[in-house]
Amino acid sequence: MARYHFRLPDVGEGVTEAEIVAWHVKPGDAIREDQNLADVMTDKATVEMTSPVDGTVVAVNGEIGAMIPVGSVLVELEVEGEGNAGAEVAAAPAATPAPSAPPPPEPRDSGGGGVSAAAAQPSVASSSPAPTPRAPARVDIPVGRNEIFAAPATRRRAYELGIPLQFVPGTGPGGRILPSDLDDFIAAGGMARAPGGLAPRMGGEDVKIVGLRRRIAEKMQEAKRRIPHIAYVEEVDVTQIEALRAEMNARAAEGSPRLTMLPFLVKALVRALPDFPQVNSRFDDDHDVLHMSEAVHVGIATQTPAGLMVPVVRHAEALTLAEIAREIARLAAAARDGTAKREELSGSTITITSLGPLGGIATTPIINHPEVAIIGPNRIVEKPVVQGQFVSVRKVMNISSSFDHRIVDGYDAARFIQALRRLIEHPALIFMGEGE
């Protein structure tokens, strides 16, 4: 018998760490080769970690939500024959599966014990769970106790006014909420509502932000922090392109996909971008290098049950309209059911974010860092439009867009969107003169 250390493998280009999102084994489990040990998540994709050997799990390292570096030991196994663990590990005392399970939940003092009559209740504090190793004592005042950290008259007044005291900062000794703290809170507009009337909703829920949501949060924060966004919104007449789309859908060939506005927009981008190479790029601002791309890899922002994902239509310039439509549908489905591969979720050079009928009249989209532009078509509406002497009903859509103002000047941003507008308003221009 020997030890085998399963280390977090290199799960993708440039990935240095991954987040554990699920454990499928626990210490003591006998496992087979190719059995799933854990799911880890990188920037974009969730990857299953499968065991390369048969063996028994001795230890799993890291709790769900933990970020672990590539190369660190994820699972320790006991295997027949030779292991891969070094001598220092082979000398480890455990010959049988060691009970090195993830640490048990931390015991918490019951807050209730502090606020009720001693005589009336059996010991709360004395029945504490078995001691477990934990960090040095840290006082964790439960909300209930915090809320009560005010004199009775203050508590009563707050309750009458419908103010949950846990939101009132206490300035007294030890954080006590003084009558004046309550006055200040009310004066600052913190008062929940007028006295009487409907009951306030109390409580709430704390949710640990992990997995994709954490990824989204980090990504958005990074983009907003690093990139000075400039937003630009233009109105586009889509009557013609909508007529074309309707016509193509009405006489679709067998097996060809139903066309939405998106593939047309991708096509228009492909057509417009060569004149604006800085817009189709990735900005490595750590090294002050702009990687302009001839290929057009279009990210398509996609809502999935887990949250926002951005699968990528690669080499859109080499795809026909139908192929683009098919690829968008395939990628969206893969993103939604969690089977999208990492390569399918990275490498875009420009991104489209569309909420379709929910698109509103304008948005200020956040750039998909390290790209420099994002295009957000809004809702299509029918509007009276003045054309010469006539007013006619036209289908009109706004295009909202954001650009990295470090790279794209306002002038160029405007010219690019105007070029896009010209193509969309005169869809023949998108398709004529290919290879021109």
Partner 1 sequence: MTGKPLKPKVLVVGAGPGGYVAAIRAGQLGLETVIVEGDRPGGTCLTRGCIPSKAIIHAAGVYEETAKAAGEGGYLGIRLESAPRLDLAETASWKDGIVDRLSGGVSALLRKAQVTQISGWAAFSDAKTCTVETGEGIVKIEPEHVILATGSAPVELPALPFSDARILSSTEALDMKALPGSLAVVGAGYIGLELGIAFAKMGVHVALVEAAERILPLYDEALTRPVRDWLLAHDVELHLQARAMGLSAKGLDIETAQGDRFTLPAEKILVTIGRRPATEGWGLENMAIEMDGRFIKVDERCATSTRNVWAIGDVTGEPMLAHRASAQGEMVAEIIAGRRRRFDPAAIPAICFTEPEIVSVGLDRPGEGHVTGQFPFMANGRALSMDAGAGFVRTIADRNSGRILGIQGVGRHISELAGEFVALIEMGATLEDVAGIIHAHPTLGEAFHESALKALGHAIHI
Positions touching partner 1 (CB under 8 A) are 109, 113-123, 125-126, 128, 137-141, 148-152, 155-156, 159-160, 172-177, 195-196
Q: Which of 275, 291, 409, 426 is catalytic?
A: 409
405 in active site: yes
Q: Which is nearer to partner 1, 183 or 218 (CB)?
A: 183
Closest contact distance (angstroms) between CB of 118 and partner 1 is 3
Q: Which is nearer to partner 1, 159 or 431 (CB)?
A: 159
Strand order across the beta sheet in which 73-79 lies: 2-7, 73-79, 55-60, 30-31
229 in active site: no
Q: Which of 43, 54, 405, 412 is catalytic?
A: 405
Cα angle 290, 292, 295; round to 5? 150
Q: Which is nearer to partner 1, 126 or 389 (CB)?
A: 126
Closest contact distance (angstroms) between CB of 109 and partner 1 is 5
Closest contact distance (angstroms) between CB of 124 and partner 1 is 9
Q: Which is nearer to partner 1, 156 or 291 (CB)?
A: 156
124/145 Cα distance (integer angstroms): 15
Closest contact distance (angstroms) between CB of 138 and partner 1 is 7
Closest contact distance (angstroms) between CB of 285 and partner 1 is 43
Q: Which is nearer to partner 1, 95 or 118 (CB)?
A: 118
Closest contact distance (angstroms) between CB of 108 and partner 1 is 9
Closest contact distance (angstroms) between CB of 404 and partner 1 is 46
Half-sphere exposure at residue 308, Cβ-oriented, CA atoms within 13 angstroms: 18
Q: Which is nearer to partner 1, 26 or 176 (CB)?
A: 176
Q: Which is nearer to partner 1, 9 or 111 (CB)?
A: 111
> Which residues are marked as active site?
405, 409
